[in-house]
């Protein structure tokens, strides 16, 4: 009897350029746009290699994200790209965020001033929930996908705090599996599990008063000032 799987799993792409972005990810200024992009990148990297699935690899190794549509068997994309009318969009994972709240931590949010007094540095605490939605064909499939993603981010918690210099990062909740409303009567049932990650980070900005800067210096000295008096 052959030891080969009857349906060999798709192979991950070698040298994924997205992984190189992790080397400089600590230099990215966090904002609503970059937060969503960073967590999409993390999620894609996790689902790009079945070796990341741990003990669930034998069961889940046929699910893989890849840039090549011919290799890709699970979609990982921004939440606004979800289209319930496309029945081939499963299994799928969609990454988005809730509202961003900004909390004052010092009076007037002011932290410091530049040496030449031309700029003022401000900061506060920004917080949001990153929501990673897992869509499967069965409740168990969506639960398993969400659990794998949750384990990945739990394992990445310390690294995310250190590299992104965030104020706080926690896996807050796994929302119970539920059927999603069918787009049409003929559509197959879809089951959803949301992973909710709580993120807080320091939002800082600099206000420079250009009119305050000293741009020119006019200097005039009369030679008479140096003449010897009688």
Per-residue pLDDT of 79-100, as tens digits, reads 998 877 765 567 999 999 999 9
Whether pLDDT at 16 is above 80: no
- Residue 93, domain member (yes or no): yes
- Residue 80, domain member (yes or no): yes
d(CA 152, CA 149): 5
- Residue 222, domain member (yes or no): no
Nearest-10 Cα torsion for 152, 130, 177, 86? -100
- Residue 230, domain member (yes or no): no
| Domain total of the chain | 1
Cβ proximity of 72 and 89 under 8 Å: no
- Residue 201, domain member (yes or no): yes
pLDDT band at 202 (very low <50, low <70, confident <90, very high): confident
Cβ proximity of 188 and 136 under 8 Å: no
- Residue 216, domain member (yes or no): no
Task: Dump pLDDT digits (tens) for 49-58.
Answer: 999 999 999 9
Spell out the residues 6+ positions from residue 25 whose beta carbon is closer than 8 angstroms to its own: 38, 163, 164
- Residue 138, domain member (yes or no): yes
Q: Tell which wins on pLDDT, 172 or 88.
A: 172
Q: Please give the helix or strand (H or E) that residue 97 lies within, else none.
A: strand 92-97
- Residue 183, domain member (yes or no): yes
pLDDT band at 29 (very low <50, low <70, confident <90, very high): confident
Whether pLDDT at 199 is above 70: yes
Confidence (pLDDT) at 226: 46
C-alpha dihedral sign at 20, 35, 169, 43: negative
As given in the structure block, the two tokens for residue 54 are: 């741990």
Q: Which of 61, 188, 63, 175 has its CA nearest to residue 137?
A: 188
Whether pLDDT at 144 is above 80: yes
pTM for the full model? Answer: 0.74
Judged by DSSP in three states, 92 sits in strand
Spell out the residues 6+ positions from residue 214 whose beta carbon is closer than 8 angstroms to its own: none
Domain coverage including residue 44: 21-210
As given in the structure block, the two tokens for residue 161 are: 């705090």
């Amino acid at each position: 009897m052959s030891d080969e799987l009857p349906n060999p799993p798709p192979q991950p792409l070698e040298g994924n350029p997205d992984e190189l972005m992790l080397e400089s990810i600590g230099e990215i200024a966090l904002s609503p746009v970059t937060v969503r992009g960073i967590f999409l990148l993390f999620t894609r990297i996790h689902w790009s290699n079945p070796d990341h699935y741990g003990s669930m690899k034998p069961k889940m190794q046929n699910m893989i994200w890849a840039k090549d549509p011919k290799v890709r068997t699970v979609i990982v994309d921004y939440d606004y790209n979800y289209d319930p009318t496309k029945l081939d969009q499963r299994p799928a994972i969609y990454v988005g965020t809730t509202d961003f709240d900004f909390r004052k931590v010092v009076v007037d949010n002011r932290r410091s001033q530049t040496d030449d007094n031309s700029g003022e540095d401000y900061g506060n605490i920004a917080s949001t929930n990153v929501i990673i939605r897992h869509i499967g064909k069965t409740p168990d499939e969506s639960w398993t996908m969400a659990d794998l993603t949750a384990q990945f981010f739990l394992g990445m918690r310390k690294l995310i705090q250190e590299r992104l210099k965030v104020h706080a990062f926690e896996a807050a909740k796994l929302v119970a599996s539920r059927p999603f409303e069918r787009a049409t009567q003929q559509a197959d049932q879809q089951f959803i599990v949301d992973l909710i990650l709580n993120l807080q980070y320091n939002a800082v900005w600099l206000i420079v008063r250009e009119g305050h800067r000293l741009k020119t210096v006019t200097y005039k000295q009369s030679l008479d000032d140096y003449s010897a008096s009688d």
